[in-house]
């Protein structure tokens, strides 16, 4: 034998030991032997030497072969045990073989020892291989059974005639039918119960025999239809099919996802169709750009019409319509967009393919991918050349009209000054104080209106007047007229930024003229000192004008409604025209308070 086997020999006669080893070598057995005589050595050698085979004499002075056999069966039951003895009868030998001895050889016939050892080792190896195979088979069966029972799929085993041999726990649980009720049942009958006429004539066994590809079946459950993907394969033993294994996988979720994906693709196709129609029908040029500004793929018909280049002429190239002096502006726009900004209402002067200069309104937005990273730029351009030309015409017309309007205000102011001058000339023909007073008051009123027109033609806004600035000029004019009171009466002006239309401003100018003039004329007789305070402020829903003085106050029994003076009558009349309200307060000061809306 090729391998070096380990032989444990239980023998107390050295000569017999030599004879046994000689016979083994003569038979070509390569071995390593270890000889013992007593039980303690024997036990130790079995554990440490780990023999491949044990040769034992029947009887020793302090030990015996029968006990040795039992010890070997206890410690190493797979190791062959051969009795080699000169005093063993045939009946005893047969009895030992029944109790587990592998063989026996008589010492006077040691020529059989080599053959006996070889046969014992061969049988031991075959037995060990068979045991290992059985263990592997058992483990495989256990693993298969675990996979079979714990599988999330439905599993069924049929015999060649189509009767159920076994089902797994998942199928038993989901079907609501016990394993015992399944086993032995005809698969065709089961198919009719679960899938109806999805097979020709309901013969599922014929289908299984004649087809190898997976099949898909639809089963109506409590929660609606479920889809099962069925795989099957024959189990072959010794060249014959002895069973058919069927595996069913519930693919309802996958089927639902597939249907949802199909529907999503359909909706996406519809959306793309709609978008394509919108883009192609859009009056605006729509272009998508690479990060470096080159045209990517989109150049719609409007872009061809507006700029004059065909789509194939611009793909992969920089925008062809930019003027040289607009390059820096365009680069700034692209920089801002690539920083994540959305831009709109960007006027851009462009050059058409035929050289014509046009004006466009540009809007840009970054294009993001699924990772929210910028992968390009979407830009739209509207041709606003006609609008720009119309705007220039309107602007020129407005400038022309504004010049004309300024001239009108200037002429109205001059005409009012002429009227004031005529009244001054007319006043020279009378010496009556009251008449002169009337002329002067009328001139002040005219001057207050002329001052409005003067401010308007000097202003950038021809429709509104800065009323605070106007009041400063009006107060200066009245202070100059009442120069004898200028040092005794201090006028304080507190005005917010209030801009009034011309009609409102003229009325308010006349009102302030009358009230301030009254303060100078009546509130501070002789050399009386005092203050006049003018306040103008914005209120909720309108404006509030207050003219107050700390002079002598109103006469006792004063009634605004029954006063006969022209000045206060003008104040009341203009207040009514402004739809305002006039109130007089006489607590600490005399205060005329006027609330009005523009």
User: DSSP states of 568-584 as a string?
Assistant: HHHHHHHHHHTT-EEEE
- Shared domain for 178 and 75, answered yes or no, is no
Please give the helix or strand (H or E) that residue 582 lies within, else none.
strand 581-585
417 falls within a domain = no
User: Which among 410, 397, 504 is positioned nearest to 456, based on CA atoms?
Assistant: 410
Say yes or no to pLDDT of 409 above 60.
Answer: no
Helix axes 502-518, 433-458, angle to 10 degrees: 140
398 falls within a domain = no
Residue 534 belongs to domain with CATH number: 3.30.565.10
Q: How confident is the model at residue 339 (pLDDT cuts 50, 70, 90)?
A: confident
Say yes or no to pLDDT of 397 above 70.
Answer: no
Of 71-85, 190-204, 227-241, 404-418, which gets the smallest average pLDDT? 404-418
Structure tokens at 538: 């914005």
Percent of the chain with pLDDT over 70: 86
Residue 47 belongs to domain with CATH number: 3.40.50.2300
pLDDT tens profile 157-175 = 888 888 888 888 888 888 7
- Shared domain for 232 and 97, answered yes or no, is no
- Shared domain for 156 and 245, answered yes or no, is yes
- Shared domain for 293 and 213, answered yes or no, is no
Q: Rounded mean pLDDT of 488-505?
A: 85
Instruction: Supply the pLDDT for residue 10.
Output: 93
- Is residue 3 helix, strand or coil? coil
Ramachandran class of 238: left when φ > 0, alpha when ψ lies in -120 to 50, beta otherwise: left
Say yes or no to pLDDT of 572 above 80.
Answer: yes
Residue 202 belongs to domain with CATH number: 3.30.450.20
Percent of the chain with pLDDT over 90: 13
- Shared domain for 445 and 525, answered yes or no, is yes
- Shared domain for 98 and 15, answered yes or no, is yes
CB-CB neighbours of 383 under 10 Å: 20
295 falls within a domain = yes
409 falls within a domain = no
Instruction: Supply the pLDDT for residue 337.
Output: 77
Q: How confident is the model at residue 403 (pLDDT cuts 50, 70, 90)?
A: low
Residue pair 509/578 in contact (Cβ under 8 Å)? The answer is no
Say yes or no to pLDDT of 2 above 60.
Answer: no
Backbone angles phi, psi at 250, to 5 degrees: -75, 110
Ramachandran class of 372: left when φ > 0, alpha when ψ lies in -120 to 50, beta otherwise: left
What is d(CA 520, CA 529) in angstroms, rounded to the nearest whole number?
11
Q: How confident is the model at residue 452 (pLDDT cuts 50, 70, 90)?
A: low
- Shared domain for 249 and 284, answered yes or no, is no
What is d(CA 577, CA 575) in angstroms, rounded to the nearest whole number?
5
Q: How confident is the model at residue 519 (pLDDT cuts 50, 70, 90)?
A: confident
Enumerate the β-bridge partners of residue 347: 361
- Number of domains, the chain: 4
41 falls within a domain = yes
333 falls within a domain = yes
CB-CB neighbours of 439 under 10 Å: 18
422 falls within a domain = no
Residue 444: domain span: 429-594
Instruction: Supply the pLDDT for residue 8.
Output: 93
Say yes or no to pLDDT of 373 above 80.
Answer: yes
What is d(CA 64, CA 39) in angstroms, rounded to the nearest whole number?
9
- Shared domain for 221 and 117, answered yes or no, is no
- Shared domain for 437 and 582, answered yes or no, is yes
Instruction: Supply the pLDDT for residue 43.
Output: 93
Say yes or no to pLDDT of 127 above 80.
Answer: yes
390 falls within a domain = no
Instruction: Supply the pLDDT for residue 69.
Output: 92
Average model confidence (pLDDT) across the chain: 82
Among candidate residues 78, 97, 128, the one where a domain is terminated: 128
- Shared domain for 120 and 157, answered yes or no, is no
Instruction: Supply the pLDDT for residue 503.
Output: 82
What is d(CA 201, CA 223) in angstroms, rounded to the nearest whole number?
28
- Shared domain for 583 and 463, answered yes or no, is yes
What is d(CA 340, CA 100) in angstroms, rounded to the nearest whole number?
90
- Is residue 220 helix, strand or coil? strand
Among candidate residues 367, 382, 397, the one where a domain is terminated: 382
Q: Rounded mean pLDDT of 414-441?
A: 68
**Higher local confidence (pLDDT), 405 or 281:** 281
- Shared domain for 581 and 436, answered yes or no, is yes
């Amino acid at each position: 034998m090729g391998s070096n086997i380990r032989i444990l020999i239980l023998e107390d006669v050295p000569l017999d030991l030599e004879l046994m080893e000689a016979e083994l070598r003569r038979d070509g057995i390569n071995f390593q032997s270890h000889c013992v005589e007593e039980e303690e050595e024997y036990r130790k050698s079995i554990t440490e030497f780990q023999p491949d085979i044990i040769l034992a004499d029947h009887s020793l002075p302090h030990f015996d072969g029968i006990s040795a056999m039992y010890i070997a069966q206890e410690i190493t039951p797979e190791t062959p045990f051969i009795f080699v003895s000169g005093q063993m009868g045939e009946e005893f030998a047969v009895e030992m073989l029944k109790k587990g001895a592998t063989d026996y050889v008589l010492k006077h016939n040691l020529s059989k020892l080599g053959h006996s050892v070889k046969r014992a080792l061969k049988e031991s190896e075959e037995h060990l291989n068979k045991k290992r195979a059985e263990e592997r088979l058992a483990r495989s069966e256990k693993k298969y059974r675990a996979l079979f029972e714990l599988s999330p799929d439905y599993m069924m085993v049929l015999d060649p005639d189509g009767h159920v041999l076994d089902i797994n726990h998942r199928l038993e649980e989901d079907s609501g039918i016990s394993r015992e009720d399944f086993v032995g049942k005809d698969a065709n009958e089961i198919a009719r119960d679960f899938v109806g006429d999805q097979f020709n004539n309901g013969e599922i066994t014929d289908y299984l025999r004649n087809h190898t590809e997976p099949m898909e079946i639809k089963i109506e459950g409590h929660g609606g239809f479920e889809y099962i993907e069925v795989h099957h394969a024959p189990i072959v033993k010794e060249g014959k099919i002895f069973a058919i294994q069927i595996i069913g996988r519930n693919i309802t979720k996958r089927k639902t996802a597939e249907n949802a994906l199909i529907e999503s693709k359909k909706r996406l196709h519809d959306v793309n169709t709609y978008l394509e129609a919108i883009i192609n029908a859009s009056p605006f040029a729509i272009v998508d750009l690479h990060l470096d500004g080159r045209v990517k793929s989109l150049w719609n018909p409007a872009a061809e019409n507006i700029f004059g280049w065909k789509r194939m002429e611009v793909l992969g190239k920089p925008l062809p319509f930019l003027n040289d002096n607009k390059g820096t502006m365009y680069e700034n726009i692209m920089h801002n967009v690539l920083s994540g900004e959305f831009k709109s209402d960007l006027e851009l002067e462009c050059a058409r393919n035929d050289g014509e200069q046009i004006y466009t309104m540009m809007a840009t937005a970054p294009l993001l991918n699924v990772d929210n990273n910028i992968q390009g730029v979407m830009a739209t351009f509207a041709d606003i050349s006609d609008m720009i030309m119309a705007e220039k015409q309107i602007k020129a017309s407005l400038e022309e009209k504004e010049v004309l309007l300024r001239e009108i205000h200037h002429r109205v102011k001059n005409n009012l000054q002429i009227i004031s001058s005529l009244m001054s000339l007319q006043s020279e023909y009378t010496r009556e104080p009251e008449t002169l007073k009337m002329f002067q008051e009328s001139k002040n009123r005219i001057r207050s209106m002329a001052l409005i027109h003067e401010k308007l033609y000097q202003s950038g806004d021809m429709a509104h007047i800065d009323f605070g600035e106007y009041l400063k000029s009006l107060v200066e004019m009245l202070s100059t007229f009442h120069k004898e009171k200028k040092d005794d009466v201090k006028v304080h002006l507190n005005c917010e930024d209030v801009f009034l239309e011309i009609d409102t401003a003229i009325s308010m100018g006349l009102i302030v003229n009358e009230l301030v003039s009254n303060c100078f004329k009546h509130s501070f007789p002789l050399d009386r000192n005092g203050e006049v305070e003018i306040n103008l402020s914005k209120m909720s829903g309108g404006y509030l004008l207050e003219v107050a003085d700390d002079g002598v106050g109103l006469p006792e029994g004063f009634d605004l409604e029954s006063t006969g003076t022209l000045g206060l009558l003008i104040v009341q009349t203009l207040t009514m025209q402004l739809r305002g309200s006039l109130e007089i307060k006489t607590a600490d000061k005399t205060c005329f308070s006027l609330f009005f809306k523009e």
